[in-house]
Structure 1
Amino acid sequence: MSGTEPALLSVTEVAGAIAARKLSSREATQSCLDRVAKWQPHLNAYMSIEAETALAAAEAADAALAKGESCGPLHGVPMAHKDMYYDEGHVVTCGSKIRKDWVAKSTATSLQRLKDAGTVRLGSLQMVEFAFGPLGHNTHYGPVRNPWNVAHATGGSSSGSGSAVAARLTFAALGSDTGGSIRMPAHFCGVSGLKTTVGLISRAGAMPLSQSLDTVGPLARTVEDCALVTGLMAGADPLDPTASSREVPDYMAATRASARGMTVGVPKAFYVDDLDPEVAAILQNTIAALRDEGIAIVEVDLPNQLQLSGASQLVLATEAAALHKRWMIERPQDYGPQVLMRLENGLAVTGVAYLEALRWRGPALAAHLAAVTGVDAILAPVSPMAAPRIDETDIGNGPGAEALIQRVTRFTRPINYLGLPALSIPAGFTKANLPVGMQLVGRPFEETTILTIGAAFQRATDHHTKCPDLP
C-alpha cells in the first residue's frame, strides 16, 4: 500500500488489504492514531483515545492472520464508536456528567458483533449528552467541531462519529438515530450514514433514549461500507425481544446491483419547502445524477408530515422523560440546560396523548406506504440547511432553542416515527465548502433498495471521496 495513507482507505478497502496481507492492522491502526493526534485538538471528536491497547490488539490481529487465523470480514480493522455503546470494563459516559465514571458490566450486542468480526478498538467518540440534541453541542465536554470548518457544528447526537469519520480518524463508527442522530452528522460532515428500520439491529447494551424510536446504525465513508457494517450487526438477539428474526439480506450484493429502471419519488411539499438556496440546488443536481443512472424520478404526494413530526416529538419526549425521571428528581443540576428543558417537556405529556400517538403509528405507516406505491424510495434533503456556526446555535435553553431544533430536524423526525430506513449520502458542497447530504427513504426492512440506489449515486459522483484538510 505504498503511497497511500492507510487511514484514507474505506472500510472495505482496508479490510481487503489486511486480509490479503498487503497492509498490517498495526499500520492501519497507527495511521488512524497519527491522524487523531493531529486532529483531536481541533475537533474534540474523541472521548477516550486508547493508543497502547489499540496497537497491542492490532499486533495480535496481525499475528493471528500470519497463522492463518481470521476473526472475520473486519479482521484487524480499527474503529471507534459513539460513547453510548456499552463495552464491558470500559467507562461509557453517554456524553453526560451523570455517567462520567460509569463502567459497563456488559457489551452491546451490536458492538460485540463487530468485535467478533475482528475490529480493533481505538477508543470512544464524543456525543451529545444522553443523545438528546441535533447539533452536536455538549455542556459538559464541549462541542465537537466540523472538520470542514471548525467554527461550524457537526450535527448530533452522533457528533463525534460524524466528525471522526469525515476526518479519517476511524474507518467507521456506530451512531444512533432516534430523531435524526445518524443522518444529521452524516449530512453536516459529508459522510454516509444508515438509519436502519426499527428492529433490524439489536439495541441491547446501547444506551436507551426512546424505547420505540431508537435505532442502531453506522456512519462510514461509503454506502458500501455502511452495507458491510450493517450486515454484520443485523439479526435476531435473545437479549432484545424487539430485534427482528427475519433473514438478513446480502447488503453488499445490493450495493453492486444496478439501479437502472428503479423509481425515486420526490415529495411535492414539506421536504422541498423553505430550503436554503444552495441545498435546493444540490437537490436538483442529485435528481439529475439519478436520472443519468437510468432511475426514473416522479413527484409524490405524501400525507401530512407535520403531524408525523409532532407525533414523533411527543413519543420521544415522553419516553425519554420516563427513562430519566429518577435522575431528574435526584440530580437535575447535573444535566445541561437544553437537555433538562427537553426532558421536562416530556413530563407535561398526558398518558392519553402518548398512547394516542403510539396507536396512530400503524395507520400513519399504512397511509405512507399507500402514497408511495410504485416508488422504490423517496429522495429528500436531510435538513434545510448546511452546518450552522457553533457560536450561533449553542444557545442552551435560551429563547429560540426549541425553534432552532424544530428547523434543523424537520426532515428527519417523520421517518423515525414511521420506523423507516433512511440512507444519508453526501450530495454536494456549498460555496463555503460545507457538505450537504440527501436522504433516500425506503420501506420497512428494505434497506437493500436504498443501498442499491445510494451506491449507484456514489459510483456516478465523487462527493463522498472528498476529505477535509487539517485546520
Structure 2
Amino acid sequence: MTDLHRLSIREMAEGLKSAQFSSRELTQHYLNRIAKIDDRVNSYITVTAEQALAQADAADAVFKTGNATALTGVPIAHKDIFCTHGIKTTAGSKMLNNFVSPYDATVVAKGKTAGLVTLGKVNMDEFAMGSTSENPFFGATKNPWNLEHVPGGSSGGSAAVVAADLAPFATGTDTGGSIRQPASFCGLTGLKPTYGRVSRFGMIAYASSMDQGGPMARSAEDCAYLMNVMAGHDEKDSTSINKEVDDYVANLNGTAVKGLRIGIPKQYFNVQGLDADVKARVEESLKKLEDMGATLVEIDLSMSEAYVPTYYLIAPAEASSNLSRFDGVRYGYRCENPTDILDLYKRSRSEGFGAEVQRRILIGTYALSAGYYDAYYVKAQKVRRLIQQDFLKAFENVDVIAAPSAPTTAYKIGANLSPTEMYLGDIYTLAVNLAGLPAINAPVGFDANSLPVGLQLIGNYWSESQLLSIVHQYQQNTDWHTKRAAIAEENA
C-alpha cells in the first residue's frame, strides 16, 4: 500500500468504506511520509501523530457500526490559525508559541464530527500577514515543485502539505488571496468562499471583515468534499450567514459550461508586472473553456487601481485592533524581567511579533489615529463600496469573472521583495475579499521554469457550487491537477 497518497478523496473514502485499507493504515502512511519528507519542506509546525492514530482507530470502529460519514477516517491538515483543543495553536508566531487552545474552532469541530483525522497543524505567514510563508520564527516553508522557491502565503503550509502529498487536503484562510495565491504557486485547487459562508469562530483574526476559511486540495472534487464539511451557519459567529448550504459534491456537474458567460476584465491583462508565461497559460485555459462552450466577454472593472491602497488601509487597521489583545498579560509571549507595565507591553510586542506584523500594526494604528481616521480609514471604506458595486455591475452581464490568481509564479526564497513589491503581487486577489465574493484557483499549466500557474474564477455571492462545477468540468478535460512534483512521487 505504498501509493495511498495518490488516491483522490473520493477513492480514499470508497477504499475505507469497502475495507480495502483501514483509517489507521492510511493515517500511518501519511505519518511515514511526513517523517521522511517534511524536513525538506517544513510544512508542519506540529504533527499530532498519537492523536491522529487514536482518531483513526475510532474511525475504524465507526465503520463497523455502519454509521460512517462520507469522510470518516480521511486525514486532514489544519492551518495553524484554527484553534484546536489540547494542541498548540500558534498562528505562525512567536507570540503564541506556548498557546494551547482550550477549545476547537468550528471548522475543526465540524471536521471531527465528520470523522476526519487531524495529522497536525501547518506553517503559515505570521498571523496570516504575508505572501511567501517565509516565517520568521518557524522558518520558511518550501514549494514542493522547487524547494528553492516559496509556496506562497499566507496558507503556504496548507498548499505545501497537499502538493507534497503530506496530507490529502487542508484547511486554509483567505483575507486577501491567502488560499488562491498559494494554490496557484503549488499547482492546486483552492476555494475562497463568500464571506459568511464558513464560520470564523476559533479562527485567529487578522482582518475580521475579510477573513474567510476554505478548502485546499488537488481537485475541485476534493475541495467539494471538504466544503461539505466546512460550510454552514454558526451561531457562535455573528458574521456567519444563515443560508441553506448546497451539496457541493452532488452539484459538481450542475453548471453547464456551454453558454456560460465569462467576463474578461481588460484592466487585468494589461497590468505591469504580469509575467508572459502566466498570461499565456491563463489565456490557454480560457480558450479551453471557450472550446467547451463558454463565451468570453470583455468587461470593464474601472476601480482596479484602488484595490491595493484600499486593502492596505482597511486590513492593517483591523489588524491593529485585533492584535492589541496580544500584550504579554493574559496569554502568549511575555518578555523577561519587565521594569514596569509599559516596558512589559513594548518589549512583549516588539519581541513577540515579526517585522511584517509590526509594519501592518503600525500602518493600521496610524490610519485609525485622531486626525487621520476620516482622511484614510473612512475614505477607504467608501472606496470599498465602489469596488463592490463595480463587480455587481459586471455580474449583470456575465456569470463569472476570470483573471490570473497571481501576476507571477512562485518567488525564490530570500528574494527579499520590498513591502510594495509583495503587496502588488496581490493585485488580482484583494478585491474579492474587499467585496466579500467567492473565488477559486485552478491549476492551468507551468511556466518556463516548471513552476505552476493558476487561473482565478470569481463568482457572484453564494456561487461556490457554480465555481467548483466549472473547475471540475475543466479538470475532466485537462490533466494539470493530476501533475505531481517529484517530491510527491517519493514513497515513504
- TM-score when normalising by structure 2: 0.91
Q: 1:170 aligns with which of 162, 167, 170?
A: 167
Deviations 1:327-382 (A, max 9, x none): 47432122212221122111111322323333443443223211232211111101
Aligned with 1:333: secondary structure? helix
Aligned with 2:200: secondary structure? coil
Question: Any unmatched runs of 5+ in structure 2?
Answer: 328-344
1:307 matched residue in structure 2: 306
Q: 1:339 aligns with which of 350, 353, 357?
A: 357
Alpha-carbon distance in 1 for matches of 2:469, 2:373: 41
Aligned with 2:139: secondary structure? coil
Alpha-carbon distance in 2 for matches of 1:440, 1:8: 26
Alpha-carbon distance in 1 for matches of 2:242, 2:65: 35
1:45 matched residue in structure 2: 43
Deviation at 1:326, TM superposition (A): 5.0
1:229 matched residue in structure 2: 226
Preserved contact between residue 263 and residue 398 of structure 2 (Cα < 8 Å): yes
- Counterpart of 2:13 in structure 1: which amino acid? A
- Counterpart of 2:26 in structure 1: which amino acid? A
Return closer, same or farther for 1:432/1:360 CA change in 2, 3 Å cut-off. closer
2:91 matched residue in structure 1: 94
* Percent of aligned positions that are identical: 38
- Counterpart of 2:392 in structure 1: which amino acid? L
Q: 2:453 aligns with which of 423, 427, 436?
A: 436
Aligned with 1:198: secondary structure? coil
Deviation at 1:441, TM superposition (A): 0.2
Q: 2:380 aligns with which of 357, 377, 394?
A: 357
Deviations 1:190-226 (A, max 9, x none): 1110011110111000000011010110111111111
Preserved contact between residue 185 and residue 453 of structure 2 (Cα < 8 Å): yes
Return closer, same or farther for 1:302/1:429 CA change in 2, 3 Å cut-off. same
Deviations 1:270-295 (A, max 9, x none): 34423111101101111111012111
1:206 matched residue in structure 2: 203
Q: 2:235 aligns with which of 228, 234, 238?
A: 238
Matched, 1:450 2:473: no
Structure 2 counterparts to residues 51-90 of structure 1, below 5 A? 51-70=49-68, 72-90=69-87
Return closer, same or farther for 1:308/1:407 CA change in 2, 3 Å cut-off. closer
2:111 matched residue in structure 1: 114
Deviation at 1:41, TM superposition (A): 1.0
2:433 matched residue in structure 1: 416
Alpha-carbon distance in 1 for matches of 2:155, 2:477: 28
1:283 matched residue in structure 2: 282
- Counterpart of 1:345 in structure 2: which amino acid? I
Deviations 1:114-153 (A, max 9, x none): 1111101111111111111111111101100000000000
Preserved contact between residue 376 and residue 449 of structure 1 (Cα < 8 Å): no
Preserved contact between residue 269 and residue 301 of structure 1 (Cα < 8 Å): yes
- Counterpart of 1:347 in structure 2: which amino acid? T
Aligned with 2:63: secondary structure? helix
Aligned with 2:238: secondary structure? coil
- Counterpart of 1:295 in structure 2: which amino acid? A
Preserved contact between residue 35 and residue 169 of structure 1 (Cα < 8 Å): yes
Alpha-carbon distance in 2 for matches of 1:43, 1:86: 23
1:36 matched residue in structure 2: 34
Deviation at 1:302, TM superposition (A): 1.2
Alpha-carbon distance in 1 for matches of 2:94, 2:269: 36
2:336 matched residue in structure 1: none
- Counterpart of 1:99 in structure 2: which amino acid? L
1:405 matched residue in structure 2: 422
1:186 matched residue in structure 2: 183
Aligned with 1:409: secondary structure? coil
Aligned with 2:198: secondary structure? coil
Return closer, same or farther for 1:60/1:250 CA change in 2, 3 Å cut-off. closer
Return closer, same or farther for 1:323/1:271 CA change in 2, 3 Å cut-off. farther
Preserved contact between residue 122 and residue 157 of structure 2 (Cα < 8 Å): yes
- Counterpart of 2:47 in structure 1: which amino acid? I
Deviations 1:97-126 (A, max 9, x none): 010010111111111111111101111111
2:478 matched residue in structure 1: 461
- Counterpart of 1:323 in structure 2: which amino acid? N
Question: Any unmatched runs of 5+ in structure 1?
Answer: none
Preserved contact between residue 426 and residue 436 of structure 1 (Cα < 8 Å): yes
Structure 2 counterparts to residues 2-41 of structure 1, below 5 A? 5-41=3-39
Matched, 1:218 2:215: yes
Matched, 1:367 2:390: yes
- Counterpart of 1:411 in structure 2: which amino acid? Y
Using the TM superposition, name which of 304-313 and 205-214 deviates more.
Answer: 304-313
Deviations 1:246-282 (A, max 9, x none): 1112222331233222111111113442311110110
List 4+ stretches of structure 1 deviating above 4 A: none
Aligned with 1:63: secondary structure? helix
- Counterpart of 1:53 in structure 2: which amino acid? Q
Preserved contact between residue 90 and residue 97 of structure 2 (Cα < 8 Å): yes
Alpha-carbon distance in 1 for matches of 2:414, 2:388: 38
Alpha-carbon distance in 2 for matches of 1:305, 1:214: 21
Alpha-carbon distance in 1 for matches of 2:75, 2:476: 25
Preserved contact between residue 224 and residue 255 of structure 1 (Cα < 8 Å): yes
Return closer, same or farther for 1:57/1:170 CA change in 2, 3 Å cut-off. same
Preserved contact between residue 303 and residue 368 of structure 1 (Cα < 8 Å): no
Aligned with 2:470: secondary structure? helix
Aligned alpha-carbon RMSD (Å): 1.6
Preserved contact between residue 109 and residue 204 of structure 1 (Cα < 8 Å): yes
Preserved contact between residue 300 and residue 372 of structure 1 (Cα < 8 Å): no
Alpha-carbon distance in 2 for matches of 1:235, 1:383: 29
